[in-house]
Amino acid sequence: MSLCKERSDLLLEAARQATFANNYDIAVRLSRAAWEVEPSFEAGHVLADALYSSGAVAEVEAVLSEVEHLAVSEPDRTRVALLRSFNLFWHLGQFDQAVAVVLQPRPQRDADVAEQAQPQVAGVGHPQAVAARAEVLRVRRDHPDPPGETGMRVALAPMLHDTPDHDLLGIALPDALRRRVEGPPRPGPAEMEALFRRLHRDWHGRDGRLLLLLGPNAPQRCSPSRNSRPS
């Protein structure tokens, strides 16, 4: 592996980590540096994605225009098309153009024929995923939210756990500090089940915008009784 390749890969991994941390300005700087070191498809796509997330919408298309000729497989060309369509749709308000980008036929190469003969996972490059995203864009274009509404959809998962961190980590706290940290007694499994059933009855599916989910904080923070499935 060349030194340039190693440096680019390191910068790209750092850019991805910055994106996961929602630090998009840093992600843009790191991915731009990776692109300058080695202008590969992956570097350009990570840069375009970071620009999209940071709101630098005008530059997204410029980067994608440089990147698309580097896409050598159908999944990669699809990644470019989806990011371009989302930028057109959500940031620039060019609804028809966004749908057209997703549905536009892309030339198939011999390598793609062999690739498509293999089992595919339903990811960003899968034809079903492309069709599904195109349908989402069409629905949002043809049925916009009424004026004054955000169009937000919410999946609500109230946090559920009954094992405090100091017990999980085996830290023996003084009684006074333990009482402060733990606060009032937590509801037991029966009370929590009743709460979730009531929330599900009253709110789940409300106006087609709200989903209620069970939200165990983490298995290790839930006692065996809390992890068990209700009868």
End-to-end CA distance of the chain: 57
Residue 141 CA to residue 78 CA, distance in Å, equals: 21
Mean pLDDT, residues 200-221 = 79
- Where residue 178 falls among pLDDT bands split at 50, 70, 90? confident
Taking 50 as the threshold, does the pLDDT of residue 164 lie above it?
yes
Which of 65-79, 83-97, 109-123, 153-167 bottoms out in mean pLDDT, i.e. has the lowest? 109-123
Question: Residue 103 is part of which domain span?
Answer: 3-112+120-142
| 124 vs 182 pLDDT, higher one | 182
Is residue 81 domain-shared with residue 48, that is, in the same domain? yes
| 128 vs 215 pLDDT, higher one | 215
Is residue 101 domain-shared with residue 174, that is, in the same domain? no
CATH number, position 26: 1.25.40.10
Q: How many residues make up the chain in this entry?
A: 231
Is residue 44 domain-shared with residue 136, that is, in the same domain? yes
Mean pLDDT of the chain: 77
Mean pLDDT, residues 183-194 = 80
Asked if residue 149 is part of any domain, the answer here is no
Is residue 9 domain-shared with residue 79, that is, in the same domain? yes
Taking 80 as the threshold, does the pLDDT of residue 79 lie above it?
yes
| 158 vs 48 pLDDT, higher one | 48
Residue 105 CA to residue 80 CA, distance in Å, equals: 13
Is residue 63 domain-shared with residue 13, that is, in the same domain? yes
Q: What is the pLDDT of residues 5-43, one digit of tens each?
A: 888 899 999 999 998 888 999 999 999 999 999 999 999
Asked if residue 148 is part of any domain, the answer here is no
Q: Identify which of 81, 80, 85, 110 has the alpha carbon closest to the alpha carbon of residue 96.
A: 85
Is residue 194 domain-shared with residue 222, that is, in the same domain? yes
Taking 60 as the threshold, does the pLDDT of residue 123 lie above it?
no
Asked if residue 17 is part of any domain, the answer here is yes
- Exposure string (b/e) for 64-92, b if CB count within 10 Å is 16 or more? beebbebbeebbbbbbbbbbbbbbbbeee
* C-alpha triplet 102, 73, 33: angle, nearest 5°: 90
Distances (CA, A) of 153 to 21, 48, 103, 212: 23, 26, 26, 11
| 151 vs 210 pLDDT, higher one | 210
Is residue 67 domain-shared with residue 159, that is, in the same domain? no
pLDDT reported for residue 127 = 52
| 160 vs 133 pLDDT, higher one | 160
Is residue 45 domain-shared with residue 130, that is, in the same domain? yes
Asked if residue 147 is part of any domain, the answer here is no
Is residue 136 domain-shared with residue 204, that is, in the same domain? no
